[in-house]
Chain A
Amino acid sequence: MNNNSAPLLQVENLRTHFHIPEGTVFAVNGISFNINEGETLAVVGESGCGKSVTMLSILGLIPIPPGEIVTGKAIFRDKDLIKLSESEFEHLRGDEVAMVFQDPMTSLNPVLTIGKQITETLRTHLGLTQDAAEQRAVELLERVGIPEAASRLGNYPHQFSGGMRQRVMIAIALSCNPSLLIADEPTTALDVTIQAQIVELVLHLREQLHMTIIWITHDLGVVAGLADRVIVMYAGFIVEEAHVDDLYENPRHPYTLALLGALPRVDRRRDHRLNSIPGAPPNLLVEPQGCPFAPRCTYVIDRCWAENPTLVPIAPEHKMACWVDTSTIMTGSR
């Protein structure tokens, strides 16, 4: 939340396409955003909106070909990540930037013990001896709340429950004290009670280690309790960006409005039918023309079909990409 200094990561006009036999997939279409040191940024959107591809592009994890980063810069501490070589990336990933993935079962190697998988990172990146690495691994597992950590080093991933595996993934991610943690739907595969445990753990670690976090999710509920700032993505574009309180109290883009209207609330009595969003997300094989949300939008005007609105500030720290000012048209339909 330190706004005076330069942002920790600055992404500019990132455009990632995939060339597949059926044509070109326009996955990410020129997005720009910043994240400041110590901040938690949530990136929200449905499947196929480009939220994961954005992060994979930044971390050099897009397979090229079929992928192609057409344009863009990602400045992290004076380095442009898009231009890094594979060996430079290997140094960066795990060391300065770490990632936690959605499915803790498939991101851990099933035939290696947990201890082996944690010490591997420590020995590669920090050059520790096996003994020192094991000692540090126990510390890390204790920090993420795994009971009897020392005796669990010899266990294999299948001997852990889903929540415990995600804790192990977080321990591996934290092993080299990264300054940026990218979490890609880390709680989606988990039950709500376990999700609450993991969110609590991440909030606690954030405070302790002053980490900067990018949290990718489709769940607007989790974001509310966790993020400082939120980016809403649709079809490879950022459609709205705001401080978390502002976004939920004063959502402006028709897509954000529709998403919030489609969510039932656990803390409220039912008072109306859910507002469903008609249609389906667009086909990414077609080059976007006009606003990508236009076919499903309630407020659509002629201009939306011809020109895609750019992301512009509409209030302090609140940006939106829409030709229509929804705040003047609608009141209280949420």
Chain B
Amino acid sequence: MAEAQPLVVVENLKKYFPVSSGLVFQKKAGSVKAVDGISFSIAKGETLGLVGESGCGKTTAGRTILNLYPPTAGKITIDDQELSTGSKPDLKEFRRKTAMIFQDPYASLNPRWTVSAIVSEPLRVHKLFKSEKERTERVNHLLNLVGLSSRLINRFPHEFSGGQRQRIGVARALASDPLFIVCDEPISALDVSIQAQVVNLLEDLQDQFGLTYLFIAHDLSMVRHICDRVAVMYLGVIVELAERNELYENPLHPYSQALLSAVPIPDPKRDRERRRIILSGDVPSPINPPSGCRFHPRCQVGTERCNSDDPQWNEASPGHWIACNAITNP
């Protein structure tokens, strides 16, 4: 799949949020470097997983790629349409090609709108129907695609369960026939038995329409199941990127190793046997990230050099990229 023409290319993307101090005369006191220079590409029909702990910038990355937050620096190319800082892009066309599925199926649907209004909003914005009849037909079709009955078209979000609401969110995302969908933790608010339903639905839709996904999640087991390639983020940067089985079976970066070893396995015997790397401390503040390698204060293999040298992005084996001083030039 890596051979195919990339649909999405992200180059050196940065997103900083200003932090101000003072109540009345606000001064800029610094910035939260939520995303600090990430680059990757996603092939058409591929699913790239973006994993990391809370606060690592994965959600900000997803939102900045779709221009929901204007990027501080960097370039995003989706289907040959380029967005970079300074250019005045045709955002409307860009937005028609992209969509987002949000984490919280309770907060992401307007409680005063009917299902019909919610799902047809992208159709209305992009003027994708000519008559009321066509609109209703299209909404019915979308609801059927996600496994909801078109009889529910005039109901309100509160009448649905979490899993059903997430299906409404998926139907809305599909409405404008997008090429690329950012799925931001689409299942983490759902019960286990419902998660599998939504994941299978996303996979079926991908097969049917050739969709390309950026799948943002903290559930590493689910990411291994659903994604073709996986990128691991730590404090605003990508530290490792590889094909899924390569990453899970042969993680090279000390952070990826610790992260993967912390995931519980639903098998008591396997769980007792394996070696767990327990990281000390918490993720540092992205306002003042550590110098050199950002992971060095928690790293167990780092050397003196890691305190000052920024690790370079290196291809350890074909398709397996890593940013670590200790591994690439020991």
Q: Is B245's CB under 8 angstroms from A269's CB?
A: yes
CB distance from A103 to the nearest CB of B (A): 14
Please tell me which one of the listed residues B196, B225, B263, B282 contacts residue A164 in the complex, with CB atoms under 8 A apart.
B282
Render A252-270 as a binary contact track against B, CB cut-off 8 A, 1 for contact.
0000001110111111011
- Whether B41 sits at the interface, judged by CB under 8 Å, is no
Which A residues from 13 to 64 make CB contacts under 8 A with B? 46-47
Asked if A220 is an interface residue, CB under 8 A from chain B, the answer is yes
A262 touches which one: B53, B193, B220, B272 (CB < 8 A)? B193
CB-based nearest A residue for B224:
A266
Asked whether A221 and B264 contact (CB < 8 A) given A192-B53, A262-B195, A266-B220, the answer is: yes
- Complex formed: what's the CA distance from A225 to B269 in Å? 8
Distance of A34 from chain B, by nearest CB (Å): 21
- Choose the segment among A177-185, A195-203, A307-315 that binds chain B (4+ C-beta atoms closer than 8 Å): A195-203
In angstroms, Cα B270 to Cα A249, docked, is 11
Chain A 150-173 near chain B by CB (<8 Å), digits 1 or 0: 000000000001011000000000
- Contact of B224 with A270 in the complex, beta carbons under 8 Å: yes
Which of A47, A193, A249 interacts with B53 by CB under 8 Å?
A193
Report if B303 contacts A (CB, 8 A): no
Assess whether B97 is interfacial by the CB under 8 Å rule. no
Which residues 261-301 in A have Cβ within 8 Å of B in the complex?
262-267, 269-270, 273-278, 280-281, 296
- Residue contact B203 to A273, C-beta cutoff 8 Å: yes
User: With contacts A191-B218, A192-B218 known, is A266 near B193, CB below 8 A?
Assistant: no
**Quick check: B225 and A274 within 8 Å, CB to CB?**
yes
Closest Cβ of chain B to A240, distance in Å, is 15
Interface size class of B (residues with CB under 8 A): 35 or more
Given A266-B220, A275-B196; A224-B268 close (CB under 8 Å): yes
Beta-carbon contact of B193 and A277 below 8 Å: yes
- A191-B195 in contact (CB<8A): no
Interface 1/0s, chain A 211-234, versus B by CB < 8 A?
Answer: 000000011111111000000000
Stretch at the interface among B134-142, B177-185, B254-262, B286-294: B254-262
Tell me whether A192 and B259 are in contact (CB under 8 A): yes
Kindly state whether residue B318 has any CB partner on chain A within 8 Å.
Answer: no
| Contacts between chains A and B (CB distance < 8 A), count | 127
Closest to B161 in A: A280
Asked whether A92 is an interface residue with its Cβ less than 8 Å from the other chain, the reply is no
Question: A278 contacts which chain B residues (CB < 8 A)?
Answer: 197
When A221-B221, A265-B265 are in contact, do A161 and B191 touch as well, CB less than 8 Å?
Answer: no
Q: Does B121 contact A (CB under 8 A)?
A: no
From the candidates A191, A245, A265, A269, name the one contacting B269 in the complex (CB within 8 A): A245
B262 touches A262 (CB 8 A): no
- What residue of chain A has the Cβ atom nearest to residue B244's Cβ? A270
A244 contacts B by Cβ under 8 Å: yes
B193: chain A residues at CB < 8 Å are: 46, 258-259, 262, 276-277, 281, 296
Q: Which residues of B contact A219 (CB under 8 A)?
A: 264
A76 contacts the other chain (CB 8 A): no
A223 proximity list for chain B (CB < 8 A) = 266
Per a CB cutoff under 8 Å, which of B164, B245, B266 touches A265? B266
Residue pair B265, A266 in contact (C-beta under 8 Å): yes
Name the residue of chain A whose CB is nearest to the CB of B280.
Answer: A197
A128 contacts B by Cβ under 8 Å:
no
CB pair A276 B266 closer than 8 Å: no
Are the C-beta atoms of A193 and B258 separated by less than 8 Å? yes
Q: How far is the CA of A46 from the CA of B259 in the complex (A)?
A: 25
**CB-nearest residue of chain B relative to A163?**
B282
A265 touches B199 (CB 8 A): no
Known: A192-B220, A225-B272, A270-B225. A262 touches B192 (CB 8 A): yes
- Pairwise interchain contact B53-A266, C-beta atoms closer than 8 A: no
In the complex, A248 has a CB within 8 A of chain B: yes
> Contact: A267 with B270, CB < 8 Å?
yes
Q: A193-B258, A276-B193 are in contact. Are A221 and B266 (CB under 8 A)?
A: yes
Contact A47 B225, beta carbon cutoff 8 Å: no
Q: Which residues from chain B contact A163 at a C-beta distance below 8 Å?
A: 282
Tell me the complex Cα distance, A272–B272, Å: 26
Residues of B within 8 A of A259 (CB): 192-193
B279-A193 in contact (CB<8A):
yes
Q: Give A200 to B115 CA distance when docked, in angstroms.
A: 45
A residues with a Cβ closer than 8 A to B are 46-47, 161, 163-164, 191-197, 199-200, 218-225, 244-245, 248-249, 258-260, 262-267, 269-270, 273-278, 280-281, 296
Can you offer 28 A-B residue contacts whose CB atoms are under 8 A?
A: A46-B192, A163-B282, A164-B282, A191-B53, A192-B262, A193-B259, A193-B278, A194-B282, A195-B262, A196-B276, A196-B278, A218-B192, A220-B192, A224-B266, A225-B265, A244-B268, A248-B266, A248-B267, A258-B193, A265-B266, A265-B267, A267-B265, A270-B224, A270-B225, A273-B200, A276-B200, A277-B196, A280-B164
20 new A-B contacts at CB < 8 Å, known A196-B278, A265-B266, A267-B274: A161-B282, A164-B282, A191-B53, A192-B218, A192-B262, A196-B279, A222-B264, A224-B267, A224-B271, A225-B272, A245-B268, A245-B269, A249-B269, A264-B225, A266-B220, A266-B260, A274-B225, A276-B199, A277-B196, A280-B163
